[in-house]
A and B are shown apart, each in its own frame.
Chain A
Amino acid sequence: MARTKLAFAALALTLTLAAVKAFQGMATPGVRVGAVKTVRSDLPPIRVDFRDVAAEAGLTALDVSGSADNKQYILEATGHGVTIFDYDNDGLMDVFLVNGTTFDAKTPGPPSHLYHNKGGLKFEDVTEISGLAATGWGQGACAADYDNDGRKDLFVTYYGHSVLYHNEGGGKFRDVTKEAGLLGAAVRWDTGCTFFDYDLDGKLDLAVTGYIDFDKSKVPKPGAGGFCVWKGLPVMCGPRGLPTGRHYLFHNEGNGKFRDVSEPSGVAKRAGCYGFTITASDFDGDGYPDLYVACDSTPSLLYHNKKNGTFEETGIVSGVALNEDGREQAGMGVAVADYDEDGFPDIAKTNFSDDVPNLYHNDGKGNFVDTVYTSGLATHSQYLGWGINFLDVDHDGRKELFVVNGHVYPEVDRTQMDTRFRQPRLLYWNIGGGRFQDISNSSGAAIGTPWSSRGSAVGDLDNDGSLEIVVSNLGARPSLLKNFAPAKNWLLVNCVGTTSNRDAIGAQVRLYVGGRRLSGQVQNGASFLSQNDPRVHFGVGDAASYDRIEVRWPNGVTESFRGGSINRIVTVEQGSSRM
């Protein structure tokens, strides 16, 4: 959450004392960031109508994150993630909403919330009976079947001590943090997490990011320190000026236990990152998953998997650490997808206000170029971005980009600044050729309504083939966005690993349909401290059937599954193809 460079850097340099002027030369033009290149499509416009149906669906839990309008500490402003997963194996995606607390709470504060999907977009709060009613400064969560027992477990990050819940079946979870070897001795501010199998041994390992080495007693009051003023407004301090957190990698030993390999793997070596979202993907196509971390106010990180249990940080060399001017940004959320259908996973990242997001295009060898300006995604610099998701809204086979926004300083609402605490969402239509068109104003009330949003997760919650979006809103109820506009055909691919990890996290799915090859992958951590529906969604346009599905499983084995009809959920199990 950096205060980004000011637009008037060049002219602001004239604001220097006269005595200095006598000894100084002409001001060098500063660097500004602004909206650029509005892209327009000649394609027929698509119909999108997202409406917020959270209240009707029963997603009503109030998010708590410190004081509502008088945030003294940065911990109160970063908000929470959303995790979509099917905890009870009923075929319907459930929703886990992470929650926080307050500093002055006399009671323990509210818990995070697990919502059971009853079908028909109706949910019931099962937090208490599920055993997930813990309270504290929750941050994000990731769900995966780490012990390959067929049930999805849950890891929740906290400022304090993060928790691993084992899914016991019957809708019950049990805190196994200590016995799994994940209980840290010290209080930490963990944020992002992702399950992934970095050594391809079929067992899911766990990576966790740290934001700030936060000690409330050592943080200055708003306006008191050098990094506690924003545009002249006294605000909570940080992250600049505060010590960075640390990142962890835990190896899954296979007996329900994890081993901390942060140091030997090299993940802990790279300091100097205020880490938020972490996600895994094989960015360079070498068969091993790499890690990408969105860092706030510091260069973001790409941990390249060296295939020997160690990682090398290559963010700057790979082109995903900085913007095109070589400047660090305030990275928040991450989305990974092949947006231009070239077969390689690209990265989109949200940043602070007075800045634009990044769209790092992958050349297939793990080298990236930030194409945000030419893609049309830089049309708004006034918003502070958090959750970000690729999703095919119109089912044309190309993935749109959805972004949620919201400021961190409630104080801005008490000023005459042009920005506001609550900000609208953005939807960019993928018009092909690597370009996007901003359709936020014509995509339904749920896009334009302002909230101070943080995490967002995408999934097909009613199994009708079109994707819903769940959004965590700071200090408010969540949003559930459903698109009521008609969409074309679709396919939802549910991957099940056998020799690979059962969740098939890391599997790359290619759908061959109508002469096109569409790509997707099974991912874990995503957006902002969130997790999307693990099933891989494809829009297939007007196609009535698909030719085949090709899966490269996490262990490197590629398998083809014969084609069939569309508009259905297809489960592909490793080793079961009959081509």
Chain B
Amino acid sequence: MIAGSVLGKFALLLTVLVALVLGQVSPIPSDQAMALVRDGKAADAIPLLERLLSQSPNDLRARNLLGIALSTAGKREEAILQFQKLLALNPQFLPAIKNLAINEVELGRYAEARGHLETVLKASPNDPAALVAMARVEVALGHVDAAAARIARLPDAAPAALHFEAGRILAELERYAAAAHQFTLSEGGAAPYNVGFNLSLAYLNAKNYPAAIQAGKNLVDRGIVATELYSVLAKAYEAAGKTKEAYESLRAATQLDPRDETPYLDLIALCAEHENYDLGLEIADIGLRVNAAAYRLRVDRGIVLALLGRMEEAEKEFARAAEVKPEETEAHLARAIALMELNRIPEAIDLLRQRRKLRDDNYLVDWHLAEALLKSGADAEAEAIEALHRSIQLNPAIPRSHFLLGKILLQRGQADEAILELKAALRLEPEDVSATYQLAQAYRKKGDAPRANELFAKVSQAKAEASEQQAHRGGLLRIVRNGAH
């Protein structure tokens, strides 16, 4: 959900809670140990606290601090043991219950965590840390609305880090407007880039494009930029109909690290969206001049050439990309498609068979191999069906594979088997017109006219609606070149 690169930058909830708990524990058992934990030197604090506890095993505060130190050091099982020992001595010691629950959340022991968090929230219904931790538990247990309800109770005055985490949880639940609210409340805390980036991304996904742009621009104005931020900004600008700004944003991203291919890829994508393939090609050339070994950029250059109707050049470009990273499947796959388009079917089949031999974990290879085999002649139909079965096994969630298999089976007169596959395709994509159409034909072949006609009517309806939508479609914007490169 939130961009992967950002995920790792967030402070762990536990770390946040350590600080909170520290604030609640008094009097401190040892100034030295406390200072070490505060400074993140848990490894040094642990032997100190263990010595202290060997002398005073019933020192609740020292044991709580040891649990926190162990948690901070990633020794969660040991930490849990300490909190359990502490609670054996004093079952009502809320900080320990909360710390225990937080460790349980981290270890995925949601049922136990839930029980402990309920105890905490009963005693302190608006405890921010407990609310956020409980929200995580609810998410894990699939109680989406309950999770959102917990976060809704989070006081505005809660620590920024907790609002940030709450924002992440809501974004995960695709409740982007609410997530943006939490990210806004987390402003002023640590890691302003992370807050600003997530805020912009949440607004973007909430389709509040002006706010997304503003949040992104705030970071840019402060000089806190990264390639991914420019990507988000570009997307927001594009969605807001400001193509030129989107283009400029991505151009700025290329200045950050000219060898980074990502902004070039985004620029090419923008050009592709506007069917300005010539400019896309030019951008690919610029990027490749800076970094000739940019694999992804070379693949995209090939795609642009293909979109330009220059299939022979595209095929060569994919071959070059495959030389850059022979282990990657994408370039080989693209080359196979180009070969098929060039009617060089046997070469495509050879290539796809080779790829399959090297790596048998890509459903697209099997899918395209099936297609190439079908193009090659009737003798290969059995192998094509086998390839499609493999493709489906590798990724059963692709409706197109089920559709293609259903179509072949229907052509072979295996209407019952075809119906099963076509139904599978429609389960995955209920509005898929191709599968609906084929399924209608399968039913007709079986003599089930009522079901066939019902499905044909659905196809007719879909076509009529598509025609209506087309009639109302507006014109596309063109990218305005403005001193590009």
Chain A residues packing against B (C-beta within 8 Å): 6-8, 10-12, 14-20, 22-23, 26, 28-32, 34-38, 220, 223-226, 228-229, 231-232, 240-241, 243, 272, 298-299, 316-317, 319, 321-322, 324-328, 367, 369, 373-374, 379-381, 412, 415-419
Contact = CB atoms under 8 A, between A and B. Distances in A.
A369 B411 CA distance: 10
Contacts of B473: 226, 241
Contacts of A373: 374
A17 B266 contact: yes
A326 B398 contact: no
Interface of B: 1-4, 201, 204-205, 227-228, 231-232, 234-235, 238, 262, 265-266, 268-270, 272-273, 275-278, 280, 299-300, 303-304, 306-313, 330, 333-334, 337-338, 340-341, 343, 345, 364, 367-368, 371, 374-378, 395, 398-401, 407, 411, 433-438, 441, 444, 452-453, 456, 459-460, 463-464, 467, 470-471, 473-476, 478
A232 to B, nearest CB: 3
User: By CB atoms of chain B within 10 A, which of A31, A225, A316, A327 has the most?
Assistant: A316
Contacts of A38: 377
Contacts of A369: 441
Given A22-B2, A29-B400, A7 B374 contact: no
Contacts of B401: 29
A139 to B, nearest CB: 23
B460 A316 contact: yes
Nearest to B296: A14
B307 A231 contact: yes
10 contacts: A8-B306, A11-B299, A15-B300, A19-B232, A32-B341, A32-B371, A37-B377, A226-B473, A298-B467, A326-B437
Contact of A11 (B238, B337, B453): B337
Given A232-B307, A316-B460, A316-B463, A226 B475 contact: yes
B309 A374 contact: no
A417 B309 CA distance: 5
Given A36-B374, A231-B309, A29 B262 contact: no
Question: Main SS of chain B's interface residues?
Answer: helix
Contact of B337 (A8, A319, A416): A8
B297 to A, nearest CB: 12
Nearest to A20: B235
Nearest to B475: A225
B425 to A, nearest CB: 11
B265 A417 contact: no
A347 to B, nearest CB: 16
Q: Which 7 A-B pairs have the closest CB atoms?
A: A326-B437, A232-B277, A417-B309, A225-B475, A18-B231, A22-B3, A272-B467
Contacts of B300: 14-15
B441 A319 contact: yes
A371 to B, nearest CB: 9
Given A19-B235, A319-B441, A418-B310, A37 B378 contact: yes
Contacts of A321: 463
Contacts of B378: 37, 374
Contacts of B1: 22-23
A37 B376 contact: yes
A226 B474 contact: yes
A12 B272 contact: yes
A14 to B, nearest CB: 7
A418 B311 contact: yes
A346 to B, nearest CB: 17
A379 B343 CA distance: 8
Contacts of B437: 316, 322, 325-326
B265 A18 contact: yes
A416 B316 CA distance: 15
